[in-house]
Structure 1
Amino acid sequence: MVNNLSYDNTNTERLTEGDTEPFYEKTVSLLQDGELIKGKVISVTKDEVIVDIGYKSEGHIPIKEFRDAKGALDVKAGDEIEVLLESSDDDRGYVILSREKANKIRMWNVIEESCNTGKTIEGKIIQKVKGGFSVDLNGIPAFLPGSQADIRPITNPDKLVDSISMFKVIQYDKRKSNIVVSRRTILEAEREKTRKDTMQVLEEGKVVDGIVKNITDYGVFVDLGGVDGLVHITDMSWGKSRHPSHIFKVGDRITVKILKFNKEENKIALGFKQLKPNPWDAVQERYKAGDIIKGRVVKVVDYGIFMELEEGLEGLIHLSELSWAKAKQATQRFKQGDIIEARLLSIDSLSKKISLSLKQLEHNPWDEMGLKYPKGTRVRGVVKNVTDFGVFIGIEEGVDGLVHISDVSWKKIKHPSELFQKGQELEAEVVGVDKEKERVALSIKTLIKDPWYGVSQKYQPGLAVNGTVTNIANFGAFVELEDGVEGLIHISELKRGEKKGIIIKAGDTVEVEVLNIDPQERKIGFGLKGLISAGDKIAG
């Protein structure tokens, strides 16, 4: 109960000394210990605050009850305050008052009202505690559960400490001094009001501000004011899509354009790149073939590097355009973020492709390659690679020559690996340079005399000679007369021999008759005369 009894100094001045005692006794009879009363601050001393409550003696309150958390006083002479009458007459004859206890009593009334009506109370979050936070409700401690602190999960609880907020009391027990409050219910109510207001003004094509709320692999969700919209990854940049986290972070305030708005399903599609012109629309006007452009390496792959000319425009420098020398993997020379210059080769606006080159900024060594290595030049080098179709020999730094399988040997071979291996040093002869295709053709067999030279004079039709069967095919048998000179016994000749009991196999030494010879085609036709000796080689 609050007693509004006030002390009128004017009236007491007209009282005689004899009359004052009955007056004060009457005043005392109106006051009871434990009551809330109002008084006026008369003075503030080092230890106490003196308050006039219209009693025969002034009330005394310890100065500490008027200091805030930082020790500053929040009272001065002349202030009217509400206090609790603890004792109307102590052993010193003083009236003992308490503002702190008066505040607590008044605050418990407010707490009860908040719990019953939903009215909000201001409080200060003091510190983190197990399961939530401790809150000061004007001198009365309360508990704020973590689940009731915010609408979203709290990633940094320290940010809430020392903050002042409005709360609702959701549970209390005055006897146990137990109070549970919620901040979330207030935020949800505010958010719902904001959402309704926002929904009224949103429309397709409108440009609005929002805060990045969540980041996923496929885009970012933006809070537009109680309503969330999605910026899909394809609507973030005119360039090739990167992970959204490379562009935004949670909490960023961004400006977006509403692309689609479905009120029934509450779905809003937003665009970020749509606030800027599409760089591909004017690319042909801004860039021309032959331009030298500075840019940033944004991606390195096995087949080359991607360079960003400007935001939304990327070009490819293919592995073949990195250097005039034989290019190694791009990852060995470049890394993401490198700033480089390149020459623009071509633009395909339809396919959104730009071709760039590094080597076109350098002198082309192939301009002099034909003069440096004229036909017939002998070169030495190490075998870099052995393939089905030939052998690659390094003839200088970054330049390899190819010995085609047909130029490996005068003798027929199935695979170059039968004669050569990687790392082997070889000598070869230049047979041609192709500047356009950047190729040097080599030959090894031209270093050796052609075994077919003079064959037509040496092996004339009708001549009987001995040879070795090298292979049996379904159309006949191949017989070698000497190294690099081979002819064929047709299947019809073999069948005639079988009728005579002559059956041959690979490795056998046979007598044959030269039937015909074509030095240009390197072909000799044989007739089977007889088996000289059986060999150990198994037919292939």
Structure 2
Amino acid sequence: MEEFQRLLEEYLLQSEKIYRIGDRVEGVIVYMDDKNAYVDIGTKKEALLPLEELRDLEGNLLFKKGDKVSALIVKRLSGEASYLLSVRKILEEEARKEIKEAYEKGLPIKVKIINSVKGGFEVTYNGILRGFLPRSQYQGKEGEEIYGLIQKIDHKSFVVSPKAYFEKERELKIRELVGHIEKEGVLEGTVKKEIKGGYLIDFEGVLTGYLPYAELTRRRLSSYEGFLKEGDKVRVKVIEWEKETQKLRVSLKALEPDPWDEVSLKYSVEQRVKGRVVRIMNFGAFIEIEPGLEGLLPASEISWKRGLKPKDVLSEGDMVEVVINEIEPTKKRMILSLKRLEENPWDKVAREIKPGDVIEGRVKTVTNFGMFIEVMEGVDGFIHISQVDWERVEDLHQRYRTGDMVRAKVIELNPENKRLLLSIKELIPDPWEELAKKIKIGDDLEGVIVGETKGQGYLVKISKGVVGFLPLKEVWEEDGKKKILKEGEVVKGKVIYFDPERRRLWLSEKAYFQEKEKEELSQLKENLKSSSKRLRDVVKLDLEEK
């Protein structure tokens, strides 16, 4: 009998799985009606699982047809179903286990706000467990899902804090960003907004950096506006970081290749290059040879013609060919020249003009000390006021105006120093040389008083371009007193000193009149002698007649 019973049980076990109350089983939901789900757990008949067991705290179904479920056997049924199942306890146990593990490890959990209650919000975890979110930790709204750290836990509920999670997350992100800053110095961020002078860049929502306009690119921009847009992703280099204040300054251009690093390999002095005019100043223009590589074209190197301003010749955006005059890569300095594309006009002057030649030019500028004459384009000669006339010139502006054509003689030419001196008076015979042909020391001259050297004597104009000197001691005395001569008065004198080369001529009025007195006295004596002889002859004749 016992053997029969054993064999019967073995047969039944082989033909159908038998479960006991409390066993945990796994199965697949094969179909569902409006009240129950039917689960295939390996028995001849499906097990019955009420839909209420499958709903979360908000009444939403957690499973659907075809899903696998783990459940507990709570009752053996007769009829269409084999067993009555329950999943609630298992779901709650699994949820509590996950929450406990998260609490112990300090990990965040995702909860959903389902209701507003006193002091905060009622939340659910996985739709199974109820918890509490203090209002001081987050200002949320019903239906919102959010992450938080578990602050407290018991067998019935738990307390969660998004604020604590945000702070921890911020701390972790900052720590990670600081690691990147101190190690690589390169960060990836998002353009937050454009402000005066640059952009604010957001990094992971925990750090904000400042990107100045000057650090956007090595290329010169006509306008910084709109270079970046809000939301643009950027990769930047950290150029300033203060850990205590979290002050962060970043650069885009620092990650761009610096063309100055290879400038010595690509360019050389005397090389011709093309570039774009990017900026014009009074002192010159900046030429972009390639993005990030600019050279200065000084105003003096724009044209051989003097007086031209950069804006007279160039406009921003112009493409020009220039010659490299200087390169200093370490100082990021390049000096360019436009005028060297043409022949130096001073070289032409050196070929075509020599001292002694007579040239014709146009008056460019008249000053108080002389005037500049344009001999040819790019070459100006200078006529000093002393070279205008043999006579003293008081005011050049009364004689010449800009644009007047003049003829002049070249008296000095130095192309290397760009020096060309001219003279107008050299075209006129030197009055001192002419005078030297006519007079000598001891000759009598007549002139006009044109000035006085106080305490020394008078200036006497002899002829055009010749002014002599009458010392006070050589002025004729009348009645024992020296005469006081006035400007414009005509005087006569004897030449007592004459040096044409040094342009000096001294007169003596005293010597002149003394000589005249001697001549008059001699003439008087001669006249008396002649009269006496005639008288003797008359007396003798008279005596002879008697």
- TM-score in terms of structure 1 length: 0.57
Hey, what does 1:209 align to over in structure 2? 188
Describe how 1:401-412 pairs up with structure 2 within 5 A.
401-412=381-392
Is 1:328 the counterpart of 2:308 in the alignment?
yes
Paired position in structure 2 for 1:523 = 504
Would the aligned equivalents of 2:220 and 2:278 in 1 still touch at CA under 8 Å?
no
Partner of 1:467: 447
Contact 1:239/1:314 (8 A) holds in 2: no
Q: Which of 462, 465, 468 is the equivalent residue of 1:481?
A: 462
Q: Distance in 2 between matches of 1:286 and 1:335?
A: 27
Would you say the 8 A contact 1:221–1:229 is kept in 2?
yes
3-state SS of paired residue (1:458): coil
Residue by residue, what CA displacement relative to the aligned partner does 1:10-43 show, whole Å, maximum 9, x if unpaired? xxxxxxxxxxxxxxxxxxxxxxxxxx999xxxxx
Is the 8 Å Cα contact of residues 476 and 509 (structure 2) preserved in structure 1? no
Matches for 1:43-442 after TM superposition, within 5 Å: 117=121, 168=140, 195-201=170-176, 202=178, 203-204=181-182, 205-215=184-194, 218-226=197-205, 227-232=207-212, 235-236=215-216, 245=225, 251-326=231-306, 328-349=308-329, 351-442=331-422
Equivalent residue of 1:453, what SS? Answer: helix
C-alpha separation in 1, matches of 2:386 and 2:163: 82
Q: Tell me how far apart the structure 2 counterparts of residues 290 and 402 of structure 1 sit (CA, whole Å).
A: 31
Contact 1:279/1:313 (<8 A) preserved: yes
Amino acid at match of 1:211: T
Change over 3 Å in CA distance of 1:434–1:192 after alignment to 2:
farther
Counterpart code for 1:198: K
Q: CA RMSD in A?
A: 4.5
User: What is the identity percentage for the equivalent residue pairs of Structure 1 and Structure 2?
Assistant: 32
CA contact (8 A) 2:218 2:253 kept: yes
Alpha-carbon distance in structure 2 between the residues aligned to 1:114 and 1:362 = 89
- Shifted more, 282-291 versus 194-203: the winner is 194-203
Q: Is the CA contact (8 Å cut-off) linking 1:393 and 1:402 kept in structure 2?
A: yes
Range that drifts further, 331-340 or 425-434: 425-434
> Aligned equivalents of 1:408 and 1:188: distance in 2?
93
Unaligned runs of 5+ in 1: 1-5, 10-35, 39-108, 120-166, 171-186, 533-540
* Counterparts of 2:215 and 2:279, CA distance in 1: 20
1:454 is paired with a residue of what secondary structure? helix
Question: 3-state DSSP class of the match of 1:265?
Answer: coil
Change in 2 beyond 3 A, CA 1:465/1:279: same
Cα separation, 2, equivalents of 1:498 and 1:343: 82
* 8 Å contact from structure 2 (residues 475, 482) kept in 1: no
Equivalent in the alignment of 1:15:
none
Q: CA deviation at 1:300?
A: 1.3
Whether the 8 Å contact between 2:114 and 2:122 is mirrored in structure 1 is no
Residues 273 and 490 (structure 1), Cα distance of their counterparts in 2 relative to 1, 3 Å cut: farther
Q: 8 Å contact 1:511–1:530 — kept in the other structure?
A: no
Deviation per residue, 1:340-398 (Å, 9 max, x gap): 11111112345443221122222344433234344444443332211233222234444
Bigger share in helix = 2
Residue deviations 1:149-200, cap 9 Å, x none?
xxxxxxxxxxxxxxxxxx9569xxxxxxxxxxxxxxxx99999777544311
Deviation at 1:504, TM superposition (A): 3.6
Structure 1 position 472, deviation (Å): 3.5
- Rounded to whole Å, the distance in 1 between the matches of 2:342 and 2:462 is 54
SS in structure 2 at match of 1:449 = coil
Deviation digits for residues 88-120 of structure 1 (CA, Å, limit 9, x no counterpart): xxxxxxxxxxxxxxxxxxxxx96867995398x
Show CA shifts across 1:59-99 (max 9, x none).
xxxxxxxxxxxxxxxxxxxxxxxxxxxxxxxxxxxxxxxxx
1:343–1:361 contact (8 Å) kept in structure 2? yes
Name which one, 1 or 2, has greater alpha-carbon Rg. Answer: 2
Q: Which moved more, 1:459-468 or 1:338-347?
A: 459-468
**Structure 1 residue 267, shift from structure 2 partner:** 0.9
How far apart are 1:336 and its partner, in Å? 1.5
CA distance, structure 2, for counterparts of residue 396 and residue 340 of structure 1: 25
2:388, 2:188 → 1: CA distance?
A: 72
Q: Deviations over 1:279-337 (max 9, x none)?
A: 44443333211111121212212232221223333222222322334461110211112
Q: What is residue 97 of structure 2 aligned with on the other side?
A: none
Output the CA distance in 2 between the equivalents of 1:498 and 1:240: 91
Aligned residue for 1:453? Answer: 433
Q: TM-score, normalised by structure 2?
A: 0.56
- CA distance change for structure 1 residues 449 and 191 in 2, over 3 Å: closer, same or farther? farther
Distance in structure 1 (CA, Å) of the matches to 2:122 and 2:465: 107
Q: Does the 8 Å CA contact 2:494/2:507 hold for their aligned counterparts?
A: yes
CA distance in 1, matches of 2:476, 2:200: 85
Counterpart of 1:85? Answer: none
2 CA distance for matches of 1:530 and 1:450? 28
Does the C-alpha gap of structure 1 residues 209 and 321 become closer, same or farther in structure 2, counting only changes over 3 Å? same
Q: Tell whether the 8 Å contact from 1:383 to 1:421 is kept in structure 2 after alignment.
A: yes
The count of residues paired between Structure 1 and Structure 2 equals 372
Q: Aligned equivalents of 2:492 and 2:383: distance in 1?
A: 36
Contact 1:497 1:503 in 2 (8 A): no
Map of 1:538 onto structure 2: none
